Amino acid sequence: MDYLKEFLRLVHIVGGAFWYGSAILMGFFISPTVSATGEAGQKFMGYLVKNKGITKVIATAAGLTVLAGGILYWIDSDGLRSAWTLSGAGLVFGIGGVFGLIGFIYGMQIGSNINILVNVGSEVQGKPTDEQMRKIQAAQKKLGVVGPISSYSLVIAVICMALARFWS
């Protein structure tokens, strides 16, 4: 048994499951609820980010997933030199990896913009200043773009990872 590959698979699958579940929960349920519930939602998100470190935890899981997946692909493809790379499984794992990387890159932007919203929100005393409002609106606008890209990229990545072994 190749213990390194088994360990990397474990990290990739468990980290990916946590990352994917968190991203879907945040993107499709928590973020819209926070937006719809005004100040109460902002307090909830502030607690989740500042006290529970949710953005850091998700980023760590995502980073470990991407790293483990990249190493596994490198090993399985013999440094991208193997005929396996052009096989059905190799191609679908590769496509899934690209979408996972897209999800990761845009996910990092989600985390940084959520942190901006939480930090600026905690500075607001009463009505936001024009500068605070500008920062809030810019972060919300970015989240409206990067959030769906990250979420749907991860959906495609998970589908590819689940089906790759069955492509011949």
Residue whose C-alpha is closest to residue 145's, from 89, 115, 107, 119: 107
For the chain, helix, strand, coil in percent to 5 are 90, 0, 10
Q: Which residues of 24-48 are buried (b: 16+ CB within 10 A; e: fewer)?
A: eebbeebbeebeeeeeebbeebbeb
Q: What is the tally of structural domains in the chain?
A: 1
Structure tokens given for 27: 């993107």
Residue 126 phi, psi (nearest 5): 80, -125
pTM of the model: 0.90
Domain residue limits at 75: 3-166
Q: What tens-digit pLDDT sequence spans the chain (168 residues)?
A: 799 999 999 999 999 999 999 999 998 899 899 889 988 888 899 999 999 999 999 999 999 999 999 999 999 999 999 999 999 999 999 999 999 999 999 999 999 999 999 999 888 888 888 999 999 999 999 999 999 999 999 999 999 999 999 987
